[in-house]
């Protein structure tokens, strides 16, 4: 089997674009118990899958601040069907994990009071989001290249990555990010694949372990090999579980190296959600 080359081919670029511009139709509704002057109307927004809640919900805040009294407003937070939504997970991950098989649009409840200190992190400013985003990228690069590529980049390159995400600029982001997707040809892939596996009913927030994309014998390992090692139940009971990445279910024979290169989030992690299959 020929090994995939690091050159991004034309259809690969389409995949990247589709991943970047993925959107989730969301309906934001104010929590009924919040005191309002008049009735709050829901606010609809197409949220980018790859971004973070607190980064893209300024309009939501502005909309609801029109009806909520200023003195009652604390930090805004979101919740879906009782579960507080962690803003530091990418939006796509939150949707796939909690509401992947529900009816669209995604109904998210907006709160301005009673911030759940135990479940959520505070997000006072965008620089907090930037710090979290950059640290994820560095962690991913540490797994992929021992951190050499990210450390060789200058501060302005890091800034470019963040600005690209913040301003939704695909070209600007990928001008820098493609460096992080390179690997020496003789290796056949990254050192370790940066991935996180989320499960709905799990005591752990996510599974993250060391996993090489190429076996010691030289075989290219696939998504199925990864899951076999990390979540064997998903393999052996395929009817029970769905393996969702970016809202789609890739075939289990997809090479994990290709997945990491093309289906990672902007923070360079491959976020995989294991959800119960719908029994319709």
Partner 1 sequence: MAGRRVECTWKRHVAEQLKQRDRVQRQAFEEIIHQYNRLLEKSDLQAVLSERLQTEKYELQDRHDVSPGAESLQQEMAQIRIRHQEELTELHKKRGELAQSVIELNNQIQQKDKEIQSNEAKMLEYQQQIAQLEGECRDLRSSLADLERANQTLRDEYDALQITFSALEEKLRKTTEDNQELVTRWMAEKAQEANRLNAENEKDCRRRQAKLQKELADAAKEPLPIEPKRVSQTPPAGLLDSISNIFGYVDSLLSSLSLSLSLAPLPSLSLCVYSTVCQDAHDGEVNAVRFSPGSRLLATGGMDRRVKLWEVVAGHCEPKGALTGSNAGITSIEFDSAGSYLLAASNDFASRIWTMDDYRLRHTLTGHSGKVLSARFLLDNARIVSGSYDRTLKLWDLRSKVCMKTVFAGSSCNDIVCTEQCVMSGHFDKKVRFWDIRSESIVCELELLGRVTSLDLNHDRTELLTCSRDDLVKIIDLRNNAVRQTFSAQGFKCGSDFTRVTFSPDGSYVAAGSADGVLYVWNVLTGKLDKTLDKGHSSAINSVSWSPSGTYVVSVEKGSRAVLWSDM
Q: CB 259 → partner 1: shortest distance, Å? A: 8
Binding flag, residue 233, partner 1 (CB under 8 A): no
- Residue placing its CB nearer to partner 1 in the complex, 92 or 145: 92
Task: Report the side by side order of strands in the sheet with 270-276.
Answer: 195-199, 270-276, 241-244
Out of 19, 50, 137, 181, the residue judged to bind partner 1 by CB under 8 A: 19
φ, ψ of residue 57 in degrees (nearest 5)? -110, 30
Binding flag, residue 13, partner 1 (CB under 8 A): no
Binding flag, residue 70, partner 1 (CB under 8 A): no
Binding flag, residue 24, partner 1 (CB under 8 A): yes
Binding range to partner 1, per CB under 8 A, among 4-12, 72-80, 201-209, 268-276: 4-12
Out of 8, 15, 149, 207, the residue judged to bind partner 1 by CB under 8 A: 15
CA distance 249 to 268: 19
Q: CB 204 → partner 1: shortest distance, Å? A: 27
Per-residue burial over 145-180, b if 16 or more Cβ lie within 10 Å, else e, is: beeebbeebeeeebebbbebbbeeebeebbebbebb
CA distance 135 to 147: 11
- Residue placing its CB nearer to partner 1 in the complex, 208 or 254: 254
The 167-206 site mask, x for binding partner 1 (CB under 8 A), equals x---------------------------------------
Out of 246, 256, 266, 273, the residue judged to bind partner 1 by CB under 8 A: 246
Q: CB 270 → partner 1: shortest distance, Å? A: 13
Out of 110, 137, 263, 270, the residue judged to bind partner 1 by CB under 8 A: 263
- Residue placing its CB nearer to partner 1 in the complex, 99 or 145: 99
Binding flag, residue 5, partner 1 (CB under 8 A): no
Binding flag, residue 75, partner 1 (CB under 8 A): no
Binding flag, residue 236, partner 1 (CB under 8 A): no
φ, ψ of residue 68 in degrees (nearest 5)? -95, 140
Out of 25, 205, 232, 276, the residue judged to bind partner 1 by CB under 8 A: 25
Binding flag, residue 163, partner 1 (CB under 8 A): yes
Summarize as ranges the residues that interact with partner 1 (CB under 8 A).
1-2, 4, 11-12, 14-15, 18-19, 21-25, 41, 43-46, 63, 66, 104-105, 156, 159, 163, 167, 246-251, 253-255, 258, 262-263
């Amino acid at each position: 089997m020929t090994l995939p080359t690091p050159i991004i081919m034309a259809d690969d670029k389409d995949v990247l674009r589709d991943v970047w511009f993925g959107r989730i139709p969301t309906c934001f509704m104010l929590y009924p118990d919040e005191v309002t002057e008049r009735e709050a109307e829901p606010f609809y927004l197409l949220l980018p899958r790859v971004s973070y809640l607190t980064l893209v919900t300024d309009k939501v805040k502005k909309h609801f601040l029109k009806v909520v009294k200023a003195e009652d407003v604390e930090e805004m937070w979101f919740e879906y069907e009782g579960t507080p939504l962690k803003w530091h997970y990418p939006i796509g991950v939150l949707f796939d994990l909690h509401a992947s098989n529900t009816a669209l649009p995604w109904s998210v409840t907006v709160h301005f009071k009673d911030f759940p200190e135990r479940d959520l992190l505070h997000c006072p400013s965008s620089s907090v989001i930037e710090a979290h985003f950059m640290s994820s990228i560095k962690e991913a690069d540490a797994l992929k290249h021992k951190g050499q590529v990210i450390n060789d980049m200058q501060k302005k390159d890091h800034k470019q990555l963040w600005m690209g995400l913040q301003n939704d600029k695909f070209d600007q982001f990928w001008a820098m990010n493609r460096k992080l997707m390179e690997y020496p040809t003789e290796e056949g892939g990254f050192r370790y694949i940066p991935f996180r596996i989320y499960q709905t009913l799990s005591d752990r927030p996510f599974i993250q372990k060391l996993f090489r994309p190429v076996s010691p014998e030289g075989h290219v390992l696939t998504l199925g090999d990864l899951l076999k090692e990390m979540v064997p139940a998903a393999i052996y009971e395929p009817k029970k579980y769905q393996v969702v990445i970016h809202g789609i279910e890739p075939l289990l024979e997809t090479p994990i190296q290709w997945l990491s290169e093309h289906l990672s989030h902007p923070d360079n992690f491959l976020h995989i959600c294991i959800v119960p299959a719908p029994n319709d």
